[in-house]
Amino acid sequence: MEFRKFFLKANNELEGGSILPRARRITCKKCQKQVLVSKIRKNYFVCPECGNYFSVRCRRRALMLCDRRSFRELYGELESRNILDFPEYDNKLAAAMEKSREKEGVICGEGTIGGIRTCIFAMDANFMMGSMGAIVGEKITRLFEYACDHSLPVVGVTVSGGARMQEGMISLMQMSKVSAAVKRHSDKGNLYVVLLTNPTTGGVDASFAMLGDITLAEPGARVGFAGPRVIEKTLNQSLPKGFQRAERVMECGFIDQVVPRDKQKEVLERILKIHSICR
Amino acid sequence: MIGMNMEDYEIVLSARADGRLTAKDYINGLTTDFMELHGDRLYGDDRAVIGGIGLIQDIPVTVIGIEKGKNTQERIEHNFGSAGPEGYRKALRLMKQAEKFKRPVLCLVDTAGAFCGIEAEEHGQGRAIADNLYEMSTLKVPILSIVNGEGGSGGALALSHADRIWMLEDAYFSVVSPENCANILWKDTGKAADAARALSLTAQKLFKAGLIDKVVKSGDMKGLASDVYKELHSLMQKSTENLIDDRYRRFRKVGY
Ligand SMILES: [Zn+2]
């Protein structure tokens, strides 16, 4: 029953976030061309005209990577509260839920990839810029603990502006909490593959995004700790071309491979296969 | 207590004020026979982080502190207390050394935030902070972190994955600076005081929320020295397994 709901929901419109209207054609922001929505969808949400990457909602992400009908959501009932009674946070949460059609900025679950049982999390840029609050941290921590208990690999897709300031120190400390859970999972010999997507910055970059055994990234994705405008302002100079882009971050030594969207499932399948034999 | 009668934003300002004690003062006040150890053994020696070995009474310790400096010359030397990846990697190197020789680690945290720059980014600022959180979570020796001034976001957190986090009563620890927060939310840095209140960043509030373990009275170095000794002594009685499990639980419960 639940599966059916996903598919109906997912097929309703282009999964580029609610910025994209329910139309047959949309204008690509990069090449300004009118493109058929159905064509974009078939092309892994990449513009068939210019190769521009549209953002992908978390649920669609999980479905794109998992084998057909294998994904089962976990901890989907968890929902954020305004713990600090922070001004305007209630409204922002409500707006984020409406925009993303999710209860939180990350979806967690279990499925198979190339037939291999795997735990998956995927973050959602439409939920307050993929920011990490207590529930995002809690869900990912639970997933790593579950994967650790069952000796399962974890595949994570990150997209985040960083820690969610409306939850103050509680959100900052999610970095510590998740990192500790990743360590426990790793110390038992389990595999964690992370796929960095645009943008992965701030507190997520400075924690579980950078802790994978194997680190993949989408072409052109911004990956970095400090925001580019903050750096520009601090240094009072413009930034070099390609700075903080996946290709450059790979040159700097922090990414194993930049993988185009249509190859991601295949690459993950290969990695998981090799590790399933090694153990 | 000072913190009780001060507005949250006044505490932020006092945590940044000139003339405050810095990491070096605490090292002098809390340890004897201190000897500084330099470098991350990978690339450089980040002077925003000072580290070394010494004694707290009869306990050998590793001390790591973020140093802001006291006058212009010192501030420049220590990069205004904003560490780059080399600083965090130096800290981790010294923590691993402490683990080898079974001595506890004392961290002194005082930073507006990790350094923002092209080099810092390309040398892996995010990875360096992440690595500290990751490795500190299973370090086999006790870790006590004291936020003695500014606890500026991830850059401060990277030295705070500890068994105990203490804060000076006039220190703050925050996910974002109140000025940036006000700017992002209300496009008005003038509302920093409102942001400071909303962020719940003072030692008193964080203690009440169970996020830190002790509020330290300022201006009482002797009292602090005795408390630090007692705490390290008691943490050292724990088995390694209990120490690491308790540390895991300490952060595991945050936010849920
Ligand atoms: Zn296009």
Q: Where in chain A is the domain with CATH 3.90.226.10?
A: 56-278
Answer whether B199 sits within 8 Å of A182, measured CB to CB. no
Q: Which residues in B lie closer than 8 A to residue A160 (C-beta atoms)?
A: none
Q: What global pTM score does this model have? A: 0.94
CA B70 to chain centre: 18
Q: Which residues in B lie closer than 8 A to residue A133 (C-beta atoms)?
A: 255
Looking at residue B22, what is its pLDDT?
A: 97
Angle between helices B178-186 and B192-199 (to 10 degrees): 110
Q: How far away is chain A from the Cα of B184, in angstroms, using its nearest Cα?
A: 10
Q: Which residues in A lie closer than 8 A to residue B255 (C-beta atoms)?
A: 83, 133-135, 137-138, 167, 170-171, 173-174, 177
For A26-35, A124-133, A209-218, B193-202, which range has the lowest pLDDT when averaged over its residues? A26-35
Written in H, E and C, the secondary structure of A80-119 is CCCCCCCCCHHHHHHHHHHHHCCCCCEEEEEEEECCEEEE
**Which of helix, strand or coil describes residue B105?**
strand
Going by pLDDT thresholds of 50, 70 and 90, the confidence category of residue A6 is very low
ipTM of predicted assembly, 2 dp: 0.96
| Model pLDDT for residues B127-173, shown as the tens digit of each residue | 999 999 999 999 999 999 999 999 999 999 999 999 999 999 999 99
Distance A41 CA to ligand 1 centre (A): 13
Dihedral sign, Cα of residue B139, residue A186, residue A196, residue A251: positive
Distance A51 CA to ligand 1 centre (A): 6
Distance A31 CA to ligand 1 centre (A): 4
Looking at residue B96, what is its pLDDT?
A: 98
**DSSP 3-state helix, strand, coil percentages of chain A (rounded to 5)?**
40, 20, 40
Q: Which CATH superfamily is domain A56-278 in?
A: 2-enoyl-CoA Hydratase; Chain A, domain 1 (3.90.226.10)
Q: Are strands A25-27 and A34-36 parallel, antiparallel or unpaired?
A: antiparallel
With contact defined as beta carbons under 8 Å apart, do B150 and B119 qualify? no
Q: Give yes or no for residue A168 having a pLDDT over 90.
A: yes
Answer whether A87 sits within 8 Å of B174, measured CB to CB. no
| Model pLDDT for residues A103-123, shown as the tens digit of each residue | 999 999 999 999 999 999 999
The domains located in chain B, with CATH, are 2-61+68-142+157-251 (3.90.226.10)
Distance A86 CA to ligand 1 centre (A): 39
DSSP calls for B39-103: --SSS---TTEEEEEEEETTEEEEEEEE---SSHHHHHHTGGG---HHHHHHHHHHHHHHHHTT-
